[in-house]
Structure 1
Amino acid sequence: MAGTGEGEDTEHQHGYRGKPANHHQIRKERVHSPNMDPIIGSSTGNLQTARILIRKRPLTPERVQNEGKAKPVPKEKEAKVESDTHASVAISSSLTTIPAPSLCSGPQLMTDLPTPQEIRDLFTRESLWQSYLDVEAAMSLEQGNIGMIPMAAGEEIAAKANLTVIPAEKLAADIAVTRAPVASIARLLSAACSPEAAGYVHWGGTTQNISQTGRILLMKRAHASLMDRLDRVMAHLCQMAEDTADMPAVSRTNHRQALPVTMGYKLAIAIEELQRHQERFAEVSKRTFTSQMGGAVGAMHAWGKDGPALNVAVSKRLGLGHLHIPARSAIDHISEYVLLLALFGTSIGRIVSEFYLMMGDEYGEVIEDLGADVIGSSTMPHKVNSKLAVKVIADAARLRSFVPTAFEAMQPKNESDSATNHLMYDCTSGPVSLAYDMLTDLEALLPALRLVPEAMQKNLNLTGGLIAAENVMMTLAPKLGRTHAHDLVHHAAAVAVAQSIPFIDALMSDAEIAGATDRAGLEAALDAGNYTGLAEQLTRETVRKVRLI
């Protein structure tokens, strides 16, 4: 008798447009350990599969034309993996195909990443059901391998575990009756098998073993695409930072002008922040992408002494890590991933908000240029409003809204609770899909940003030299002492503003200042373009460091 478990479930005359980046300089090699690369295929080759390759591929001009297009894999044959150094994920061909990341020359953009809709489609009804079937297949195969069930039965179950054999509409009709998707899957899979194999379907498993593990598999696929898209964003940011490393710009604190820096420096701050997120994602992946394979309450009752071996073997076959105690009540590893996605989104929101502020007419330092046909306002013809930046900022806020849900999902009653499981399932699909959408919009935004160095220079000159007051203070400090120099320069700044006179005249009117330096020395100190600190150096160092990773 089949076990069931519990049911639930454009170019312009002036301005800088960032050049596309050389992805070869930025892309990191992804290290896949044996327990991180899913291989679900049957040893008999009967499972129809599609493969996602996460790898470097030869460059061809043709692929440059195919940005974002998904290529379906024929159902009648398996896609081949030509090198054992390439990580692959074998999944049923009935699922939406996620195209392989690739590299290109010329425009220097990697092609063939999935669209946001394709990522969302990973979590559609049929995709989820097939992923559940993939887990059932892996469990049956490994139960056969260790002698828990007959090998022939395990292979037959795996061969039948797809939505070609089990029609989706028939499955939907049964679920409408049982209200238990995994129980219906087990029932219809049993019916599709021979009598000799049918009794071994879902042997000792429970719903959450299948549904949570199946969702984690899809989450891992989405995460791999998210990290590849982040690589592309980092590459473009590095190129922009390198190109503008010596472009003087205004830094601002508390909404007021602070000191001269460079545009590249602003970008380098963003690059280093996002690099820290890459490190966090690499670390959290080891904990998040784990199976849930412990039977009814995690203690492997129905599997007996072979339970721990089955837990390890199924997890390895699926390319997931495993929990020593696969408790159904402990989902901290999933909530941790949601919290990191929210933290990541908050950083993206901050970075894009800086661009958004610089687009204001009072600054005019950045323009989001999506072409002449884009309309800013239905009633104000002059308006050129942001379209992409505002969406990224809004999505970052939406991403943060998943955090309370992730915390609530961690509060089941006793060993399992379907109410909190529903919240947990929301956390496996919504956050990663939204993060991918946000990052895709950011990648589209970067080449659309037109920097206006003339406006940046105008803003640097806006205060008549006040922005370089610190340099004047430090020029006077060796003779007058830093604190006294600060007080003198502060007073001169107040005089310049109150009397609407040039700052240099206010400075020279002070006898102590005039006695410590001459007008030429003050003019040199007030040249904002010569007082950008180590902004250019730090920018170039940051870009070099990231490109070496």
Structure 2
Amino acid sequence: MAGRLVNALGAAPAAAEAFSDAATLRHMLRFEAALARAVAQAGLIPKKFAGIVAAACDPALYDPEPLAEAARRTATLTVPVVKALTAEVAKRDPDAAGYVHWGATSQDVIDTAMVLQLGEALPPLLKEIEGIVAAFATLAKKHRATPMLGRTLLQPATPLALGQKIAGWASDLDRARRRLAESFAETQVLQFGGASGSLSALGGKAEAVMTALATDLELALAPAPWFAQRVRLAAFAQDCTLVCGALGKAARDISLMMQVEVGEASEPSGPDRGGSSTMPHKRNPVGSTLVLAAANRAPHLAATIVSGMVQEHERALGGWQSEWPTLAALVETLGSSLQAMAEVAPGLVIDTDAIQANMDAADAAVFAERATFLLAGKMGKQKAAALVEKALAKGGSFVEALGQLRTELGDEQALLGHSSEFVDRLLEELHRK
């Protein structure tokens, strides 16, 4: 497993903690303790043994390293964990050891622990998305009518309000957040099916046990075990990727606006932030870098989850086993992206003078479309287009070449078209959600 140094640019500490060795053991053992209580409550094992099993489910009692080594020999972490738990229970009461892991199978433990880990990791991340959306919305409102040079195919185009660009970031990110919140909620279900999904080992007590288990773990109870039905996880993985992509769109724009030749925006500064190992003058877009790295990585992680959906019969060989480390990496990637943008969004600095200077430097691009349509009302679009092209060919100031339209072309509000209204509509949509 990659160490913290390799993962420094790919995982935020808070998200990574949910998948740490301690957290993994905590959630697996939490399942085992809850299972012991549930089967005892149903009368399947002596109640006095449930407390003994639960007391042995302390993650501090176990060493992750030998468990990880043993997991590779059984192709599942559950086997060595249950074996170690059974030995720990036996120290306390040899008779109780025979009731560990009653009626469950390895995938029950793994899938439920994975679901619990998502339950720990995601709520703070969803909250962080809300903060980023709010920061962008505030900035968009501030620049509702700030004209800037639009760019299409990386070339100067017609103007729009800066607020429309930023509100677009907020709107798409919020849309991705809502999708992720929904798919995350659908992952929060218990996995409990026993050997092949029938819970036959529990006889007539199956319903009572799985209901008690789900209640204890604060998870929903699925209509049936979902060993080989992985749409929930695949949808969640894809929605994580959409959030990374929406953040990446904002980061791409910010990094382009930060280029010295453009100079329209800059990330917040701080000690050693954006420095270079060899060039003292550099102020690199470090937040955008981390966000773009995540946007590049996330789709391929999600693809692994989706490709693993084609699983054999009731329990698969290799499909679900690929999910746990991949989902962990994906959530860590999402956390890295959010942590980076959470620093950038509220501190993004806009240079309106540079924005205006870039508009002035590209006045032909700014005014050509509007001039065409102003003239078209008097002479038709074909003649107007020919006249505008002739004025452009003269070089120099396009406004001077069409001096008779100086007043109309200089109407800043008209120049923005419907852009400011689009800002209002995007922000209103955010407010309604």
Q: TM-score, normalised by structure 2?
A: 0.88
Q: Deviations over 1:177-218 (max 9, x none)?
A: 964532233233333252443222111111110011101101
Larger deviation: 200-209 or 276-285?
A: 276-285
Q: Distance in 2 between matches of 1:426 and 1:190?
A: 26
In structure 1, the residue matched to 2:199 is: 300
Which residue, out of 85, 88, 99, partners 1:200?
99
1:153 partner letter: F
Contact map agreement 2:108 2:192 (CA 8 A) in 1? yes
Q: Are residues 318 and 544 of structure 1, via their aligned partners in 2, closer, same or farther at CA, if it must alter by over 3 Å? A: same
Q: Are residues 169 and 255 of structure 1, via their aligned partners in 2, closer, same or farther at CA, if it must alter by over 3 Å? A: closer
Q: Are residues 159 and 171 of structure 1, via their aligned partners in 2, closer, same or farther at CA, if it must alter by over 3 Å? A: farther
2:117 partner letter: L
Q: Distance in 1 between matches of 2:273 and 2:49?
A: 60
Confirm or deny that 1:187 pairs with 2:93: no
In structure 1, the residue matched to 2:20 is: 124
Alignment of 1:154-169 (within 5 A): 154-164=50-60, 166-168=61-63
Q: Distance in 1 between matches of 2:279 and 2:56?
A: 61
Q: CA deviation at 1:280?
A: 0.7
Q: Distance in 2 between matches of 1:235 and 1:282?
A: 17
Confirm or deny that 1:283 pairs with 2:178: no
5+ long unaligned stretches in structure 2: 1-10
Confirm or deny that 1:532 pairs with 2:416: yes
Q: Aligned with 1:261: secondary structure?
A: strand
Q: Aligned with 2:221: secondary structure?
A: coil
Q: Deviations over 1:451-501 (max 9, x none)?
A: 110111112222335423333344344444xxx32x333323322332214
Q: Are residues 167 and 542 of structure 1, via their aligned partners in 2, closer, same or farther at CA, if it must alter by over 3 Å? A: same
Alignment of 1:329-348 (within 5 A): 329-348=228-247
Confirm or deny that 1:408 pairs with 2:303: no
Q: Are residues 272 and 398 of structure 1, via their aligned partners in 2, closer, same or farther at CA, if it must alter by over 3 Å? A: same
Confirm or deny that 1:523 pairs with 2:419: no
**As a proportion of its length, which structure holds more helix?**
2
Q: Aligned with 2:148: secondary structure?
A: strand
Q: Deviations over 1:489-532 (max 9, x none)?
A: 33233223322143245446xxxxxxxxxx2x553234445421
1:494 partner letter: E
Q: Aligned with 1:362: secondary structure?
A: coil
In structure 1, the residue matched to 2:31 is: 135
Q: Deviations over 1:385-441 (max 9, x none)?
A: 222212211111011121221123223333323422331112331111110111100
Confirm or deny that 1:417 pairs with 2:313: no
Q: Are residues 329 and 373 of structure 1, via their aligned partners in 2, closer, same or farther at CA, if it must alter by over 3 Å? A: closer
Q: Distance in 2 between matches of 1:423 and 1:182?
A: 15
Q: CA deviation at 1:274?
A: 1.3
Percent identity at matched positions? 25
Q: Are residues 133 and 360 of structure 1, via their aligned partners in 2, closer, same or farther at CA, if it must alter by over 3 Å? A: same
2:57 partner letter: A
Larger deviation: 223-232 or 364-373?
A: 364-373
Q: Are residues 144 and 268 of structure 1, via their aligned partners in 2, closer, same or farther at CA, if it must alter by over 3 Å? A: same
Confirm or deny that 1:238 pairs with 2:134: no
Q: Distance in 1 between matches of 2:341 and 2:232?
A: 27
Contact map agreement 1:469 1:489 (CA 8 A) in 2? no
Q: CA deviation at 1:159?
A: 3.0
Q: CA deviation at 1:347?
A: 1.5
Alignment of 1:53-72 (within 5 A): none
Aligned residues: 419
Q: Aligned with 2:349: secondary structure?
A: strand
Confirm or deny that 1:542 pairs with 2:421: no
Q: CA deviation at 1:263?
A: 1.4
Contact map agreement 2:394 2:401 (CA 8 A) in 1? no
Confirm or deny that 1:220 pairs with 2:119: yes
Q: Distance in 2 between matches of 1:375 and 1:507?
A: 45
Which residue, out of 486, 489, 503, partners 2:384?
489
Q: Distance in 1 between matches of 2:357 and 2:72?
A: 70
1:531 partner letter: L
In structure 1, the residue matched to 2:4 is: none
Q: CA deviation at 1:290?
A: 1.8
Q: Are residues 400 and 270 of structure 1, via their aligned partners in 2, closer, same or farther at CA, if it must alter by over 3 Å? A: same
Which residue, out of 198, 215, 224, partners 1:316?
215
Q: CA deviation at 1:375?
A: 5.9
Contact map agreement 2:71 2:80 (CA 8 A) in 1? no
2:427 partner letter: V
In structure 1, the residue matched to 2:325 is: 426
1:160 partner letter: A
Q: Deviations over 1:146-174 (max 9, x none)?
A: 3333333333322331124x333697399
Which residue, out of 107, 110, 113, partners 1:211?
110
Q: Are residues 293 and 468 of structure 1, via their aligned partners in 2, closer, same or farther at CA, if it must alter by over 3 Å? A: same
Q: TM-score, normalised by structure 1?
A: 0.70
Q: Aligned with 2:337: secondary structure?
A: helix
1:462 partner letter: A
Q: Are residues 176 and 337 of structure 1, via their aligned partners in 2, closer, same or farther at CA, if it must alter by over 3 Å? A: closer
Q: Distance in 2 between matches of 1:360 and 1:178?
A: 52
Q: Are residues 415 and 350 of structure 1, via their aligned partners in 2, closer, same or farther at CA, if it must alter by over 3 Å? A: same
Q: CA deviation at 1:223?
A: 0.9
1:458 partner letter: A
Confirm or deny that 1:471 pairs with 2:367: no
Q: CA deviation at 1:288?
A: 1.9
1:295 partner letter: G
Contact map agreement 1:260 1:528 (CA 8 A) in 2? no
Q: Deviations over 1:48-86 (max 9, x none)?
A: xxxxxxxxxxxxxxxxxxxxxxxxxxxxxxxxxxxxxxx
Q: Distance in 2 between matches of 1:169 and 1:145?
A: 31
Q: CA deviation at 1:336?
A: 1.4
Q: Distance in 2 between matches of 1:365 and 1:531?
A: 19
Q: Distance in 1 between matches of 2:253 and 2:69?
A: 52
1:265 partner letter: Q
Which residue, out of 448, 451, 472, partners 2:350?
451
CA-based RMSD of the aligned residues comes to: 2.7
Q: Distance in 2 between matches of 1:247 and 1:383?
A: 28
Larger deviation: 186-195 or 170-179?
A: 170-179
Which residue, out of 338, 342, 350, partners 1:439?
338
5+ long unaligned stretches in structure 1: 1-114, 509-518
Contact map agreement 2:291 2:340 (CA 8 A) in 1? yes
Contact map agreement 2:148 2:161 (CA 8 A) in 1? yes
Contact map agreement 2:19 2:328 (CA 8 A) in 1? yes
Q: CA deviation at 1:355?
A: 0.9
1:368 partner letter: E
In structure 2, the residue matched to 1:38 is: none
Q: Distance in 1 between matches of 2:340 and 2:397?
A: 45
Q: Aligned with 1:245: secondary structure?
A: coil
